[in-house]
Structure 1
């Protein structure tokens, strides 16, 4: 399962699910959805009547399935009677490995509905306790989790109730910002934080951006998604410069030299590791170009993703503090 701080619903693909083409809705082979092994069980702690998962993602993927309760064990911590979904209808472009999402977001983003046709009808929306909230309310552990991500899987950790066993520098702390729905509801939805500034340096240029919009810290997005002008300037600072491929993505030679990128959060600099600035796994056969780790986001949906989160420790405290902490790794 993919640990995703940008989503609050936990789900796993169910055995016998129906795979749909996300473009035309026609049923296709299960293999086309790109899931790992499907789950053959049910809800050990009971099915929840009249509640289903009915969710759409920015990518255009969407999912449906019944909801129920089950204990979830991850990182040697068992969260009892967690609400989750067994997806039986999916229009999804998976990675061929993962079988679902471990939703690590906040309550305001949960998406249980009373029927299959209500994805856009918030009158039928039911918010429920997501995994990180249940972690605390059950008394199993403090409602805190953290990532220490790295391209080296032997140096990558996720911890629940505390922080991973890695050496870090000093932490900076920043509050999670509340959001407001179109209907006027105020709640915590995303891990939305304020950014003081960004500075990028190359052998030929030094530039700083201030007065930036809030950014969402999202482990489910591989790259950073910045305002268009910032993304363009950073990609132009690669040596040689990046080439824009579409409205969101840039490519660079896989051996390009990236600029240094310093993001100031809570008054402290968090430097993006150079190895995060180029995505070598995107190299296509016969090409020498890779995806840049910096892309352009949409207004109100700017992202600090995997590019930012590698080689730092990111702590998500969803207790009454509602804050995030970041520190540079020293190990």
Structure 2
């Protein structure tokens, strides 16, 4: 969700807008027989805009584009040739102002859906255009006649090398509209839903019902580089801890029921955060806010959006202190500022951030804090764990089980049991052995016997 997409779609439309901790008793899935496919299911990502945006290559028919893989939204779209770029005042701008790269020409395999249109809202703007069917390929996995958007009017922006968005969210947030039903001030209203790309892949037997993300950080002053991996039913080749934290996907309390067809249901990759810890580099007893809150895990956001009562005391420990600018909603900071340690506790395990992940470099070379206040809308707020968190973990998003799984990266800030004052050193991950296997979980040795007993019981039940 580039700068918090699906939720901010409406709240910022004025732009124009408890289970057992770290469940190690998760069993390996019983794999379906998948259809044969060509190509790799682990796809490299490219980082752009100083590592604040990540892109993946996707083919529309015979044309290739870089799109943002976004767990905060659900549509797949590309800008079409001749699209119009607007600012928030609906003034037409040169196409270059929207910072997109190559544009899509309707191919021989594209078929327009004439009774529906495409209209999606994001924190950075809106995207409007045609809805149609096109053959889509991602990492050598091809879906014939996938529903896609072809954008011909937008206030949204790219990163100069990408051309749209690959939504990795739930079907309920897809953005098809009957002709005449689209309200551009509220693109989440009056929608009909369709299967996002990865759902289509799974239903066609091409992938398991989960994907993984590993985001790489770029060195300071590097504009474009290696961005990590997107895995389709596979884990990326990234060394990680053998501690696996499993968090169920929750119904997002801040999303009004009117936007989910009158039914309380899962809309986002939302989980419960137990607490947030912070403190100085030598502080053995960090400060903590132990009030539980929900957060969307969002690959499209370069920020962590957290409650002000957490953000402000963390910013006060920056050296020099950082202060939120009310006009811009960001906190400027020197690029070489010293920052406190930051840990996010999920299911009893605290995932620590590397210090460098708390400072973002902007295209003009200046720097800002990677922390922002809770996004507001509908009289409520929604928090996001964005790229600063995700750069420190290998993440699994399982839409078959409606759960997420996290493993601390060996080159990240590490993981510790909640309440423990000792933690692995930055860059060292956990003291446990690293793992790069393609299993969904790797059990800590002390719990292996219990896990095996459950596995045997599950096999007996399945038979």
Q: CA deviation at 1:97?
A: 2.0
What TM-score do you get using the length of structure 1 for normalisation? 0.91
* 1:330 counterpart = 2:410: yes
How far is the alpha carbon of 1:36 from its aligned partner? 1.0
User: 2: CA distance between counterparts of 1:283 and 1:83?
Assistant: 34
Note the C-alpha offset of 1:202.
0.7
Residue 29 (1) aligns with residue 94 (2):
yes
**How far is the alpha carbon of 1:151 from its aligned partner?**
1.3
Question: Which structure would you say has the larger RCO, counting Cα contacts within 8 Å and 6 or more residues apart?
Answer: 2
What is the aligned partner in structure 1 of residue 160 from structure 2? 96
User: Runs of 5+ in structure 2 lacking a partner?
Assistant: 1-66, 219-224, 412-463
- The DSSP-based 3-state class of the residue aligned with 1:302 is strand
C-alpha separation between the residues in 1 aligned to 2:189 and 2:370? 38
Structure with greater proportional strand content: 1
CA contact (8 A) 1:254 1:283 kept: no
Question: What CA deviation, in whole Å up to 9, does each residue of 1:25-83 have, x standing for no partner?
Answer: 13222122221111123471522231111122223x11111111222222332233321
**Aligned to 1:141, what secondary structure does the other structure show?**
coil
Q: Does 1:178 align with 2:258?
A: no
Distance change >3 Å, CA 272–CA 194, structure 1 → 2:
same
| Residue-by-residue CA offset, 1:249-290 (whole Å, 9 max, x unaligned) | 1122211111111111122121112221111x22746xxx51
Shift of 1:95: 2.1
State the SS of the aligned residue for 1:125: coil
Does the alignment pair 1:277 with 2:358?
yes
Alignment partner, residue 76 of structure 1:
140
Matched, 1:293 2:370: yes
> Does 1:56 find its partner at 2:121?
yes
Distance 1:297 1:43, change over 3 A: farther
Moved more, 138-147 or 198-207: 198-207
- 1:236 aligned partner: 316
140-149 vs 78-87, which moves further: 78-87
Q: 1:138 aligns with which of 204, 208, 213?
A: 204
Contact 1:17 1:88 in 2 (8 A): yes
Superposed displacement of residue 117, structure 1: 5.1
CA distance in 1, matches of 2:362, 2:175: 32
How far, CA to CA, are the matches of 2:383 and 2:235 in structure 1? 26
1:186 aligned counterpart, secondary structure = coil
Whether 1:226 aligns to 2:301 is no
Q: Find the aligned partners of 2:187 and 2:217 in 1 and give their Cα distance.
A: 40
What residue is the counterpart of 2:190 in the other structure? 124
Q: Hey, what does 1:157 align to over in structure 2?
A: 229
Mapped contact 1:283–1:290 kept (Cα < 8 A):
no
Q: Is the 8 A contact 1:6 1:219 kept in 2?
A: yes
CA distance in 2, matches of 1:155, 1:34: 19
Q: How many residues align?
A: 324
Shift of 1:204: 7.9
Judge conservation of contact 1:200–1:207 (CA < 8 Å) in 2.
yes
In the superposition, the TM-score normalised over structure 2's length comes to 0.66
Which structure 1 residue ranges, 5 or more long, are not aligned? Answer: none
Judging changes above 3 Å, is the alpha-carbon distance between structure 1 residues 155 and 62 closer, same or farther for their aligned structure 2 residues? Answer: closer
Instruction: Give 1 or 2 for the bigger CA radius of gyration.
Output: 2
Q: Deviations over 1:215-239 (max 9, x none)?
A: 0011111010101111111111222
Query: CA-atom RMSD, angstroms?
Result: 2.1
The equivalent residue for 1:19 is 85
Which stretch of structure 1 is more off in the superposition, 87-96 or 199-208? 199-208
